[in-house]
């Protein structure tokens, strides 16, 4: 029986391995992690991450051919194929701080693999890593002095949170990069055989190592670039009276461009886009390509601009001050159908409003109060470390309360801001909300999900990103 071990039981390791176990009953899959609480959660009824369909998959395989364990060494020792899906945060100190990927966790995983292995293994990069990481990993593994042979493969993950299980069941492509030697090609074939049990062969792409590593960074940069492009347009739409929904629809019907990923919003978030672009920027700089670095940096700058612009709109519309005013925040996760808050635009928007002394009442169907307080007090990039190594919040933000219902959040509020596109926010009883708010009552829709005309009829002053401005807002320019 082929044995797979995955180091890192996070958003990627957990779902990908659960799907491999489901689709390959003849393979034994162990997912291991240094975080005791995370493994305990994977073994419980309350999984550590929320992802539609995940629970069902885990329940079908757990205890049969899918195991979650903290015994990292044992499972690595036994495995034929070792996936490494550990955190690759942005460095906060030293060379490349604020840009380069911090490979501390990867390196320690590689050293551990070298230490405990007694047989040849295929080691698979599942984490997103800088180009040429495989070369460094190879050096660590091959200098083990034990004569054991390791083949390194790059198999970046393209799943999107919120649709991870569907993406894994039916991926656009699986990408496998390896050495162009006979041993490298044999390793590629072994991993291909795993995926081929449910993915059509023509969707399994094989490349050299560096192309696979770079393709993941490039794909995320292209995706984020589309969002920043439409967000840049949204500012121009507001200035000119165009409607960004109409513009993006017209643009997206061009088959060369396509309609996906063209929604204007308060900005992109998630654990990957910013981190991976910063990493790409750093690699460009290191390779003497400052113009290319500058081009990609702009994608992040526009994203920061969009979040700042939203905060300024809120404050400027409300007579240039939100001090002591209650502002309801609907949605904190970085997108719907996930409880993940990593780099969510809600963090910067909330911090911006708190900077202007607002009182915030936050509701998100999947995010806990503890997580929100942690996010609002943590330093930039600190979130991307194993949970037990993250700094504890030294204090809570007193001006923030977290409630479990949109109606409680908006009661007596001066304004409500929609920061995540949860479906339930589309069907709220906005008349009831309006009746219970202070007047004038403001709606700031950072996801373009409400019916602007209907809300204006109720009596709200409405701002919806990139849409023609409410007459109220026209006289209150918000310069970012």
Let me know: does 367 contact 339? Beta carbons within 8 Å: yes
User: What sign does the dihedral 223-240-425-413 (CA atoms) show?
Assistant: positive
Stretch that binds ligand NAI, among 3-11, 195-203, 367-375, 450-458 (CB under 6 A): 3-11
| Contact set for ligand NAI, span 127-166 (CB under 6 A) | 127-128, 157, 159, 161
Q: Which residue of this chain has its Cβ atom nearest to ligand NAI in the complex?
A: 10
Out of 4, 5, 6, 11, the only residue in the binding site for ligand NAI (CB under 6 A) is 11
| Spatial distance between the Cα atoms of 80 and 4, rounded to a whole number of angstroms | 6
| Spatial distance between the Cα atoms of 442 and 15, rounded to a whole number of angstroms | 40
User: What sign does the dihedral 163-168-174-175 (CA atoms) show?
Assistant: positive
| Spatial distance between the Cα atoms of 389 and 406, rounded to a whole number of angstroms | 33
User: What sign does the dihedral 280-285-287-289 (CA atoms) show?
Assistant: positive
User: Could you give the C-alpha distances from 360 to 346, 396, 420, 443, in angstroms and in order?
Assistant: 12, 13, 16, 14
Out of 28, 31, 61, 87, the only residue in the binding site for ligand NAI (CB under 6 A) is 87
Let me know: does 175 contact 155? Beta carbons within 8 Å: yes
Q: Which residues of 248-257 are buried (b: 16+ CB within 10 A; e: fewer)?
A: beebbeeeee
271 is a site residue for ligand NAI (CB under 6 A): yes
Has 467 been labeled as part of a binding site? no
Stretch that binds ligand NAI, among 85-93, 306-314, 320-328, 458-466 (CB under 6 A): 85-93
Has 10 been labeled as part of a binding site? yes
| Contact set for ligand NAI, span 344-403 (CB under 6 A) | 386
Out of 43, 69, 92, 108, the only residue in the binding site for ligand NAI (CB under 6 A) is 108
Smallest separation (angstroms) from ligand NAI to the CB of 349: 21
Out of 38, 192, 325, 414, the only residue in the binding site for ligand NAI (CB under 6 A) is 38
What does the per-residue mask of binding to ligand NAI show for 439-458, with x meaning CB under 6 A?
--------------------
35 is a site residue for ligand NAI (CB under 6 A): yes
Q: Angle 209-240/290-317 helices, nearest 10 degrees?
A: 40
Helices (H) and strands (E) in the chain, counts: 18, 14
CB-wise, 10 or 365, nearer to ligand NAI? 10
What does the per-residue mask of binding to ligand NAI show for 52-81, with x meaning CB under 6 A?
--------------------x---------
- What is the total residue count of the chain? 480
Smallest CA-to-CA distance from 302 within 376, 224, 377, 359 is with 224
Has 225 been labeled as part of a binding site? no
86 is a site residue for ligand NAI (CB under 6 A): yes
331 is a site residue for ligand NAI (CB under 6 A): no
Has 38 been labeled as part of a binding site? yes
Smallest separation (angstroms) from ligand NAI to the CB of 428: 28
Smallest separation (angstroms) from ligand NAI to the CB of 210: 17
Has 46 been labeled as part of a binding site? no
Let me know: does 350 contact 333? Beta carbons within 8 Å: no
Give Rg (Cα) of the chain: 24
What does the per-residue mask of binding to ligand NAI show for 398-437, with x meaning CB under 6 A?
----------------------------------------
Task: Please state whether beta strands 359-363 and 121-125 pair in parallel, antiparallel, or not at all (unpaired).
Answer: unpaired
Has 89 been labeled as part of a binding site? yes
CB-wise, 272 or 346, nearer to ligand NAI? 272
Burial of 323 (C-beta count, 10 Å sphere; 0-12/13-18/19+): exposed
Has 11 been labeled as part of a binding site? yes
DSSP-assigned beta bridge partners for residue 122? 81, 151
CB-wise, 268 or 444, nearer to ligand NAI? 268
| Start-to-end C-alpha separation, the chain | 59
CB-wise, 88 or 303, nearer to ligand NAI? 88
Let me know: does 286 contact 278? Beta carbons within 8 Å: no
Smallest separation (angstroms) from ligand NAI to the CB of 4: 15
CB-wise, 157 or 364, nearer to ligand NAI? 157
Kindly list the catalytic residues: 272
Out of 5, 12, 57, 328, the only residue in the binding site for ligand NAI (CB under 6 A) is 12
Smallest CA-to-CA distance from 218 within 283, 144, 294, 152 is with 283
Residues 6+ apart with CB under 8 A from 81: 2, 3, 4, 5, 121, 122, 124, 190, 191, 194
Out of 18, 76, 109, 152, the only residue in the binding site for ligand NAI (CB under 6 A) is 109
Smallest separation (angstroms) from ligand NAI to the CB of 387: 6
Smallest separation (angstroms) from ligand NAI to the CB of 10: 2
Let me know: does 169 contact 204? Beta carbons within 8 Å: no
Residues contributing to the annotated binding site for NAD(+):
8-13, 33, 38, 86-90, 127-128, 161, 272-275, 342
Q: Which residues contact ligand NAI by CB under 6 A?
A: 7-13, 33-35, 38, 72, 85-88, 105, 108-109, 127-128, 157, 159, 161, 271-272, 386
């Amino acid at each position: 029986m082929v044995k797979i071990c995955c180091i890192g039981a996070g958003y990627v390791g957990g779902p990908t391995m659960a799907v491999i176990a489901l689709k390959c009953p003849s393979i034994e899959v162990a997912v291991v992690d240094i975080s005791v609480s995370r493994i305990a959660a994977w073994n419980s009824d309350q999984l550590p991450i929320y992802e539609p369909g995940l629970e069902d998959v885990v329940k079908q395989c757990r205890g049969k051919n899918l195991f979650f364990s903290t015994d990292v060494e044992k499972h690595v020792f036994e495995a034929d194929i070792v996936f490494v899906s550990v955190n690759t945060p942005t460095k906060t100190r030293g060379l490349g701080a604020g840009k380069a990927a911090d490979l501390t966790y990867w390196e320690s995983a590689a050293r551990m693999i070298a230490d405990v292995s007694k047989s040849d293994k295929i080691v698979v990069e599942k984490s997103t890593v800088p180009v040429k990481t495989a070369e460094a990993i190879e050096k660590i593994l091959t200098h083990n002095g034990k004569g054991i042979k390791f083949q390194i493969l790059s198999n970046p993950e393209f799943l999107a949170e919120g649709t991870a299980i569907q993406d894994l069941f039916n991926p656009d492509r699986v990408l496998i990069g390896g050495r162009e030697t006979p041993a490298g090609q044999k390793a590629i074939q072994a991993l291909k055989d795993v995926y081929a049990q449910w993915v059509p062969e023509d969707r399994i792409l094989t490349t050299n190592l560096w192309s696979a590593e770079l393709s993941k960074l490039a794909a995320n940069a292209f995706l984020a670039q589309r969002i920043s492009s439409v967000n840049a347009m949204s500012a121009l739409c507001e200035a000119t009276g165009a409607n960004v929904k109409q513009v993006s629809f017209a643009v997206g019907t061009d088959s060369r461009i396509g309609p996906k990923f063209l929604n204007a919003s308060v900005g992109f978030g998630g654990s990957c886009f910013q981190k991976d672009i910063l990493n790409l920027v750093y690699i460009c700089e290191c390779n003497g390509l400052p113009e290319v670095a500058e081009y990609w940096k702009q994608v992040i700058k526009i994203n920061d601009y969009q979040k700042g612009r939203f905060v300024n709109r809120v404050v400027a519309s409300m007579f240039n001050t939100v001090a002591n005013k209650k502002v309801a925040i609907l949605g904190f996760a970085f997108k719907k159908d996930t409880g993940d808050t990593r780099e969510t635009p809600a963090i910067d928007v909330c911090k911006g409003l708190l900077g202007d002394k607002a009182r915030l009442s936050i509701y998100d169907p999947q995010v806990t109060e503890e997580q929100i307080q942690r996010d609002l007090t943590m330093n930039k990039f600190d979130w991307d470390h194993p949970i037990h190594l993250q700094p504890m919040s030294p204090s809570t933000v007193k001006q923030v309360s977290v409630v479990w219902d949109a109606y409680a959040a908006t009661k007596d509020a001066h304004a409500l801001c929609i920061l995540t596109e949860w479906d339930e926010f589309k069907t709220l009883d906005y008349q009831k909300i309006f009746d219970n708010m202070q007047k004038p009552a403001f709606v700031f829709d950072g996801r373009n999900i409400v019916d602007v005309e209907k809300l204006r009829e109720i009596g709200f002053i409405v701002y919806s990103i990139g849409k023609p401005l409410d007459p109220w807002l026209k006289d209150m320019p918000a310069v970012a």
